Amino acid sequence: MITCFIRYEIDPFQREAFAEYARRWGQIIPRCGGHLLGYFLPHEGSNYEAWGLIGFESLAAYEAYRARLRADPEGRANFALAQDKRFILREERTFTQGVVGTLDLPTHCGAP
């Protein structure tokens, strides 16, 4: 599996608008074939970086997903929302691959 790691530079004064945008993807992305790992807003430190992580079986699966996303009415509407409100200032995509033996490990040392 590969993960599309999306780094967003957001307008910190429109944090809630970005959160709504992310929540909408929660319905759209799985319907179009992506495995949504989550969207993340800044909490401590930087107030302008947010992330989205979406998993795919391969780059070919990602390309098929992108085609479905462009054809999806709700997906197009969500892209239009971001353009109209301008809460995303910059967006970068990187494709990563998880390292076997480091993913989804249980906690240790008595941590709750």
- pTM summary value: 0.88
Domains and CATH numbers, the chain: 2-97 (3.30.70.100)
Is residue 22 within 8 Å of residue 38, measured between CB atoms?
no
CA atoms within 13 Å, Cβ hemisphere of 58: 3
- pLDDT per residue over 76-104, tens digit each? 999 999 999 999 999 999 999 989 888 77
CA-wise closest residue to 8 among 87, 62, 106? 87
What is the distance in angstroms between the CA of the first residue and the CA of the last residue of the chain? 29
If pLDDT is split at 50, 70 and 90, which confidence band does 45 have? confident
